[in-house]
Amino acid sequence: MMEANKLQQKKNAPIGVFDSGVGGLTVFREIMRQIPNEKMIYFGDTARVPYGSKSKNTITRFARQIVRFLRTHDVKTIVVACNTASAYALESLQAEFDIPIIGVVEPGAKVAAETTRNGNIGVIATEGTIGSRIYNSYINQMNPEATIYGKACPLFVPLVEEGWLKDPVTREVASRYLAELKDKDIDTLILGCTHYPLLRSTIQEVVGDRVTLVNPAYETAVTLKNLLSGMDLLNTEVPTQGEQQHKFFVSDKAERFLEFANSIIEHGIPNPQTIQIEDY
Ligand code: DGL
């Protein structure tokens, strides 16, 4: 009886999800859609965003602090909902902490490797993710014949944060960034940065219908569901009405985070709490 209670308690524990800021909400949203009973603790590092232009050492230090913070909430697993942090820090985090931690890169790479027909895969992401060549190594492990063309698109992040999702300026920027990938005859394109799924329709318009877009956020939620189900840790309890199912924390500018979150999360989110992440 005691054991059964303990297991139920573990199943009922939240999942920790973190990103450099708001972008990871695209991953949060997918998890919510695919495993709606789960509780989540989301942390957005709004004081230290962007991660995409910082070094591996710095990002690893940030990620460690965040994992320590999330563990204070007794999370049962952690999702690194940021491509740059997954590229730079996931391996160190997995070696250092004794709870399951997954990232967004491997799930996206797997789908791209399975999807391509002509073997030409494009990856768009931050400078850090492209420079790490992490998508190349995962894809080539699964499909050695594939050729991967990476392109950093740093202007996409501020455009998304400005809310210019379908603006002519965004379309022009996308056309310039993606021209060289179109010349490579890619048939699959990975949206390798948490913000990019929000530009999906503009990107699709620019690359054309023959290119399949891969959204790692969706695939990460599938991986998470399989992981929890494999460990018998999926939450079987339906959240009660009025219960605060998810909690949000940021390191700065909670109002701005809330505004953005409410524009992309159906029904909105509760007020985020600001914490001193450097203390962890
Ligand atoms: N979340 C980051 C990523 O997916 C993008 C924003 C940033 O540079 O911090 O790589």
State pLDDT tens for residues 182-201: 999 999 999 999 999 999 99
Ligand 1 centre distance from Cα of residue 214 (Å): 17
* pLDDT score, position 2: 58
Looking at 216, 235, 251, which one is the last position of a domain?
A: 216
* Contact yes or no for 192/129 (Cβ under 8 A): yes
Residue 209 token pair: 């219908």
Q: Are residues 212 and 110 in the same domain?
A: yes
Closest ligand 1 atom to the C-alpha of 195? 5
Nearest CA to ligand 1 atom 7: 50
Ligand 1 centre distance from Cα of residue 232 (Å): 31
pLDDT at 241 over 80: no
* Contact yes or no for 210/217 (Cβ under 8 A): no
Closest ligand 1 atom to the C-alpha of 125? 10
In the sheet that 77-80 helps form, which strands lie side by side, from edge to edge?
101-102, 77-80, 15-19, 40-44, 246-250, 273-274
Give the domain extent around 168: 106-216
Q: Are residues 60 and 194 in the same domain?
A: no
Q: Are residues 151 and 204 in the same domain?
A: yes
Find where tokens 């056309």 sit: 175
Cβ atoms within 10 Å of 38's Cβ, excluding its own: 26
Q: Are residues 61 and 7 in the same domain?
A: yes
* pLDDT score, position 9: 86
Grade residue 1 by pLDDT with cuts at 50, 70 and 90: low
What is the phi-psi region of residue 253: left when phi exceeds 0, alpha when psi lies from -120 to 50, beta otherwise?
A: left
> Percent of the chain at pLDDT above 70?
99
Looking at 216, 251, 269, which one is the last position of a domain?
A: 216
Strands (E), 184-259: 188-191, 212-214, 246-250
Rounded Cα–Cα distance for residues 277 and 69 (Å): 7
Ligand 1 centre distance from Cα of residue 206 (Å): 22
pLDDT at 239 over 90: no
Closest ligand 1 atom to the C-alpha of 87? 10
Task: Compute the chain's Rg from CA coordinates.
Answer: 18
Closest ligand 1 atom to the C-alpha of 157? 6
Q: Are residues 186 and 243 in the same domain?
A: no
- The residues assigned a catalytic role are 82, 193
Q: Are residues 121 and 176 in the same domain?
A: yes
Grade residue 6 by pLDDT with cuts at 50, 70 and 90: confident
* pLDDT score, position 274: 98
46: which DSSP letter? T
Overall residue count recorded for the chain in this entry: 280
Q: What is the CATH number of the domain that holds 55?
A: 3.40.50.1860
In the sheet that 120-125 helps form, which strands lie side by side, from edge to edge?
147-152, 120-125, 188-191, 212-214
Q: Are residues 93 and 120 in the same domain?
A: no
CB within 6 Å of ligand 1 — which residues?
A: 19-20, 23, 49-52, 82-84, 126, 129, 157, 193-195
Q: Are residues 110 and 209 in the same domain?
A: yes
Beta bridge partners of 77: 15
CA distances in angstroms from 37 to 3, 218, 240, listed in the order given: 22, 17, 10
Looking at 174, 193, 216, which one is the last position of a domain?
A: 216
Ligand 1 centre distance from Cα of residue 193 (Å): 6
pLDDT at 41 over 90: yes
Q: Are residues 256 and 121 in the same domain?
A: no
Domain count, the chain: 2
* pLDDT score, position 260: 93
Specify the higher pLDDT residue, 76 or 4: 76
Q: What is the mean pLDDT of residues 217-230?
A: 96
Compute the mean pLDDT over every residue in the chain, rounded to the nearest whole number.
95
